[in-house]
Structure 1
């Protein structure tokens, strides 16, 4: 499956869509960009609209592009850190349970609710059985 990158450049009447290796089209709203780019590519190349993927890369200028990129990277880093923290918490909860601690004791140690401990241990039990 072919991938097409579409640079969406903001201008006074909407967005100009620069489709790598294919051409340029326009839309009024960024929310219309993927559908318009997909239609344009399909027509220009005479291929089905579901035969390729489209990646819209918006550019608004005024220094905001770098700020948008930094915000996306920070969000991705936070999500990754949260996932790692959850994995670590599950592992510790399981090990504490194996040591004979009760759910309430584990909750106290981990600073979570007993219900959260039940969820953590159920996740590990499900994974162990898989």
Structure 2
């Protein structure tokens, strides 16, 4: 259950920010510079939050499946891709701030790896049906 909650928070938050919040701010007529400033601040906060959630999910995966699953399992590989996308986002943001396209690219890699991760089974329940305990 912690896996699904954490996943919903970071993947849903990333997509809600760019599909829900920012278009609404543009629609209500805020100044474009203000929207860009809000987007930049919220992007950084969401990527940092996603990094924390990805680390937490990796710990849950390792506890359920073992340490080797980070490299052999698709869920572990997707978590590593997401964590690297977070690191790349902040490396570009602080090391090369005028390269906005690389920030957007790493944000998209993070978002799409989260979407693919949503389609994967929950650790500990993969391949078997959960039995009801009275």
Q: Which is strand-richer, 1 or 2? A: 1
The structure with more helix, counted as a fraction of residues: 2
Superposition TM-score tier, normalisation by shorter sequence: 0.3 to 0.5
Choose 1 or 2 for highest CA Rg: 1
Please, what TM-score do these two structures have when normalized by structure 1?
0.33
Higher RCO structure, 1 or 2 (CA under 8 Å, sep 6+): 2
